[in-house]
């Protein structure tokens, strides 16, 4: 994983884990790597991973079974979806809409581009 300089590493790990949950790579109830395992995998200090896990526990995305390890929580997908949708609508969408207005991109143009994206994405998935 390549980290961005302008954002805390633990938050980037949180986002990476949430993406794995949303993509179905880590399933609800499934054990995830230990703090040390993930630290070694990502080549970061285990304390950084611990901070990410603490955040994810507070957000009820993962939970710890003492002596066994960390697991993806039930309803983690819905929780992550809700939180990330809200963040997108509050933070990213206004910037995107401003940019669209500046470039005179109409909703119809956006709809057509989105349809093409979905077609291409679907074709790509079928070739895997």
The domains found in the chain, sorted by start residue, are 9-76 (1.10.10.10)
Tokens 């993962």 locate to 62
d(CA 19, CA 22): 5
Under 8 Å between Cβ of 23 and 70: no
d(CA 47, CA 54): 10
Model confidence, pTM: 0.80
Arithmetic mean of pLDDT, 4-22: 96
Question: Predicted confidence band at 121 (pLDDT cuts at 50, 70, 90)?
Answer: confident
Question: Predicted confidence band at 128 (pLDDT cuts at 50, 70, 90)?
Answer: low
User: For 26-77, how does the pLDDT look when each residue is reduced to its tens digit (9 = 90+)?
Assistant: 999 999 999 999 999 999 999 999 999 999 999 999 999 999 999 999 999 9
CA 67 to chain centre: 27
User: Sign of torsion, CA 5 11 16 19?
Assistant: negative
As a 3-state breakdown, the chain gives helix, strand, coil percent values, each rounded to 5, of 65, 5, 30
């Amino acid at each position: 994983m390549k980290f961005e300089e302008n954002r805390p590493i633990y938050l980037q790990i949180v986002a990476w884990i949430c993406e794995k949950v949303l993509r179905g790579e880590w399933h609800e109830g499934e054990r995830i790597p230990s703090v040390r395992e993930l630290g070694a995998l990502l080549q970061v200090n285990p304390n950084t991973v611990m901070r990410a896990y603490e955040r994810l526990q507070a957000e009820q995305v993962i939970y710890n079974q003492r002596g066994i390890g960390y697991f993806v929580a039930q309803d983690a997908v819905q929780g992550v979806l809700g939180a990330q949708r809200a963040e997108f609508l509050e933070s990213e969408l206004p910037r995107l809409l401003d940019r669209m207005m500046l470039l005179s991109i109409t909703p119809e143009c956006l709809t057509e581009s989105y349809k093409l994206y979905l077609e291409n994405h679907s074709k790509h998935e079928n070739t895997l």
